[in-house]
Amino acid sequence: MVKIITAAVKELVLLKRDRAGLLVLFLMPALLVIVITLVQENVMELTGQKKTLVLFLDLDEGDLGKSLRQQLETGQLEVVVWDKGQKTKEDLQAAVAEGEYQVGVIIPAGSSRKIQEETALLFQKDRQPEKNSPASQVPVLVYFDPGVMPGLRSGLSAQLQMALEAIAMKTKMEKLDRELHSFLDSLGGAEDLAPLPSAGLSELTQRPLFILEDNRDSPGPTEAPPYNPVQQNVPAWALFGMFFTSIPIAGAILQERKSGIWIRLTSLPVSHLLFFAGKVVAYLGVCLCQFLLIGLIGTFLFPYLGLPAFTVSGNLAAVLVIVFFSSLAACGFGIFLGMVCGSYEQASTLGSTAVVAAAALGGVMVPVYAMPQMMQRLSIVSPLNWGLTAFHDLLVRGNSLSAVWDDLGRLMLFFLLTIFLAFRLARPRR
């Protein structure tokens, strides 16, 4: 044990004196998590994962605008109302085009009156069906921010169309209700003969028969905050940073192998496993510090940048267990890299390519569910996928540590395999 600690202390002293290495290990993942999270926050606005801002300009004199606004506010929309006395159609178009709002809606003047007129026309006895041409429909003007994603655009259009159809249906039912009562009155006050209850047709058609119970946000075994890019990115880029420590680990081993140090170490009455263990112990500490740094950035800096704070929801011990197993896998990979490569250039190229590829496959940059089928199948071989899945199960899905033992087991197996291969490579070869 003393010899392992001796080897670990030596690694930490060497690392402390390598200022460039320290910058790469700590500054790089910190910058990445800040930049990527800010970028993704903007993407979420454009894809509708955040409440969409709707700019509303009612130039009408009637109730249509109020009805439409009420319909829109029941969804994931935040309606901002402009005063028609101070703003014009051109002002709204400019605001949306500049990206201040994702969508703008204008109710033209006279729309409420035109709706009543068109509805009355529908109930005329001598109405010809073909007279209900597009020219007789009431226009509602919609403007979209050019940067809005097609998916969000379609969703918003559909939502507006549904809201307008609901208003149209209500208007028609109210008219039908009046016509029906008028007809019954003309029969000589035979209300008791009316086939309908006393409630109006409009009220009847609007009463919903179904209710959609959305269980999306119901908590798992432990409380977890709602999904946001911070909860995704902080663990993801911390993992990325941890696996990037494999390159300085490999570099340290290659420096020993390429100098006489490896010869001297081999002549000592000590196994190579001990030297590997020293490196693992030292870099476990480094990985833990990396995670703590990024976690602190997420918790304390992000709110100042307008982002939600990162939270572990009382799961700190479980989070540290995942950090431990992920760090082991990263250290094992670095040691293997140091033994299999012939030069620092090889190790840095191979290592960085492997880590970036594993990160991409693992869902660090793009969620796994958003990848093509084939890539989703490949993602199961990425150690970063195992670590990230464990973090998500804990921090986003609200599961407990017992739900992630399979992922932790894979990380441990990966560590053992890489150390075994490195040890085989370290043994004097014939």
Positions that interact with another protein (CB under 8 A): 2-3, 6-7, 10, 13-14, 17-18, 259-261, 263-264, 266-270, 428-430
Residues 6+ apart with CB under 8 A from 376: 368, 369
* Burial group, residue 421, by CB count within 10 angstroms (0-12, 13-18, 19+): middle
Query: Based on CB atoms, which residue is closest to another protein, 216 or 429?
Result: 429
Q: How far is the CB of 364 from another protein (least distance, A)?
A: 32
Q: How far is the CB of 221 from another protein (least distance, A)?
A: 47
Query: Based on CB atoms, which residue is closest to another protein, 6 or 70?
Result: 6
Query: Based on CB atoms, which residue is closest to another protein, 207 or 429?
Result: 429
Cβ(142)–Cβ(103) below 8 Å? yes
Q: How far is the CB of 278 from another protein (least distance, A)?
A: 10
Query: Based on CB atoms, which residue is closest to another protein, 13 or 35?
Result: 13
* Burial group, residue 270, by CB count within 10 angstroms (0-12, 13-18, 19+): middle
Query: Based on CB atoms, which residue is closest to another protein, 17 or 216?
Result: 17
Neighbour tally for 307: CB within 10 Å = 19
Query: Based on CB atoms, which residue is closest to another protein, 266 or 343?
Result: 266
Integer angstrom CA distances of residue 149 from 47, 60, 213, 405: 6, 30, 27, 38
Token pair of 228, please?
């946001």
Query: Based on CB atoms, which residue is closest to another protein, 68 or 341?
Result: 341
Looking at residue 103, the DSSP 8-state letter turns out to be E
Token pair of 38, please?
């800010």
| Distance, CA of 373 to CA of 379 (rounded, Å) | 10
**Dihedral-angle region of residue 222 (phi above 0 means left; psi in -120 to 50 means alpha; beta otherwise):** beta
Q: How far is the CB of 260 from another protein (least distance, A)?
A: 3
Q: How far is the CB of 21 from another protein (least distance, A)?
A: 10
Q: How far is the CB of 149 from another protein (least distance, A)?
A: 51
With tokens 């490569």, the residue in question is 341
Neighbour tally for 188: CB within 10 Å = 7
Q: How far is the CB of 381 from another protein (least distance, A)?
A: 32
Query: Based on CB atoms, which residue is closest to another protein, 186 or 267?
Result: 267
Q: How far is the CB of 13 from another protein (least distance, A)?
A: 7
Select from 337, 325, 336, 389 the least CA-distant residue to 362. 389
Query: Based on CB atoms, which residue is closest to another protein, 134 or 269?
Result: 269
| Distance, CA of 220 to CA of 229 (rounded, Å) | 19
Integer angstrom CA distances of residue 265 from 175, 256, 418: 94, 9, 21
Q: How far is the CB of 245 from another protein (least distance, A)?
A: 18
Query: Based on CB atoms, which residue is closest to another protein, 16 or 377?
Result: 16
Integer angstrom CA distances of residue 280 from 31, 273, 348: 25, 10, 19
Cβ(364)–Cβ(240) below 8 Å? yes
| 395 membership: H or E segment, kind and range | helix 383-395
Which 3-state string (H, E, C) describes 126-139?
CCCHHHCCHHHCCC
Q: How far is the CB of 275 from another protein (least distance, A)?
A: 9
Query: Based on CB atoms, which residue is closest to another protein, 229 or 251?
Result: 251
Q: How far is the CB of 227 from another protein (least distance, A)?
A: 45
SS3 223: coil
Looking at residue 140, the DSSP 8-state letter turns out to be -
